[in-house]
Amino acid sequence: MHEYAALLAGIVCAGVGGELFVRGTVGLAHWLRISPGIIGAVVAAFATSSPELSVAINAALAGNPQIALGDVLGSNIVNVALILALALVISGIQSPRDSIRRDFPVALLVPPCTGLLVLDGQLSRFDGLLLFGLFLAWLVLAMIEARRQRSATEAVLGEHRRGRIVCSCLGGLALLVLAGNLIVAGAEGIALSLGMDYFTVGLTVVAIGTSTPELATAIIAKLRGHDEVGLGTILGSNIFNGLLIVPVAAIIAPIAVVDRGGVMLSLFFGFLALALTYPTRSGAIHRNRGVLLLLLYGFSLYTVLAFRP
């Protein structure tokens, strides 16, 4: 039972550490006088993806990068079809124009690009570099556009006292490093004890655990009336996951795609969830989309578990 205890402890550390790291990083960016627009477009999204990055590095170094791939694909589904869906069920969201122009198209592009690269049965180091190149291109565009924009992110998420900023960053980072080790160790143990493959464990249990910072951010933003912060963070997190975290894992240790059908199915559900979320011409995302997304999440989870090898 120690593997379940390790996984649970890792998920708790990821949630607490991710929340601390989000607040500390956003506060640090404000302290260093970085544009609030850049904070919203880049910093918060990176911070909420930090648990996935910690898991990816630890899994790749441990020789099980399939956990990282499953975690990222699962997290991208959870972010949209569960977390954003819950926010939509509470009330609809008005999407900012910059998200429609920049973030939605790139987020929709990630699953097809990843799918093409895994057709040969492996995500190689070269594939990782290609995806990382796409990430750099998006990051440059995001930062150029963010300089002309304002964001409520620092008011919603950021710490403002310097002592708390430093403590949040260091404490959150330490918890995330610990979480990465615990989650990988627990996931490996569960996979062996239940006869499940590493990819499936990463896609389900680990993905939900590492998505807790996005959940906290979406709820805080919703309660404070800043829906654009939650939406921007979730879209940015999906882009970071697909174009930064997967490439990092692949560069450290090429990822052998053992369950190609499961990977393709997960990419399809991730793409479909984003497509269902795409705003109307007015930028509105209505409440009924949230219900559809929750149904999609339930169906995707059932499909992955029912038809796993």
Whether residue 268 is predicted with pLDDT greater than 80 in this model: the reply is yes
What is the three-class DSSP state of 48? helix
Q: Please count the structural domains in the chain.
A: 1
Q: Report the pLDDT value the prediction gives residue 228, as an integer from 0 to 100.
A: 66
Query: What residues contact residue 269 under an 8 Å CB cut-off, 6+ apart?
Result: 77, 81, 296, 300, 303
Question: Using one digit for the tens of pLDDT, what is the confidence trace for 210-219?
Answer: 777 777 777 7
Neighbours of 243 (CB within 10 A): 25
pLDDT at res. 284: 84
Rounded CA gap, 79 and 260, in Å?
A: 22
Question: Whole-model pTM?
Answer: 0.80
* Cα 256 off chain centre by: 21
* 226: pLDDT strictly greater than 70: no
What is the number of helices (H) and of strands (E) in the chain?
18, 4
Taking Cα atoms as reference points, which of 186, 193, 260 lies closest to residue 10? 186
Per residue in 14-58, pLDDT tens? 778 767 776 776 676 666 666 544 565 566 677 777 778 888 888
Q: What is the model's pLDDT at position 36?
A: 46
Position with higher pLDDT, 197 vs 1: 197
Q: Among candidates 200, 191, 183, which has minimal Cα distance to 258?
A: 200
Q: Of 262, 206, 267, 228, nearest to 99 (Cα)?
A: 228
Q: Which of 39, 64, 28, 37 has the alpha carbon at shortest distance from 173?
A: 28
Do residues 266 and 137 make contact, with C-beta atoms less than 8 angstroms apart? Answer: no
Using CA atoms, how far apart are residues 305 and 219, in angstroms rounded to an integer?
28
Q: How is residue 234 written in tokens?
A: 């979730």
CA torsion sign, 250 to 255 to 259 to 260? Answer: positive
Structure confidence at residue 166 (pLDDT):
77
Q: What is the pLDDT of residues 99-117, one digit of tens each?
A: 677 788 999 999 999 999 9
At 146 the pLDDT is 61
Domain of residue 202: give its range.
2-306
- For residues 69-76, average pLDDT: 90
Give the pLDDT confidence score for residue 83 in this predicted structure: 87
CATH of the domain at 232: 1.20.1420.30
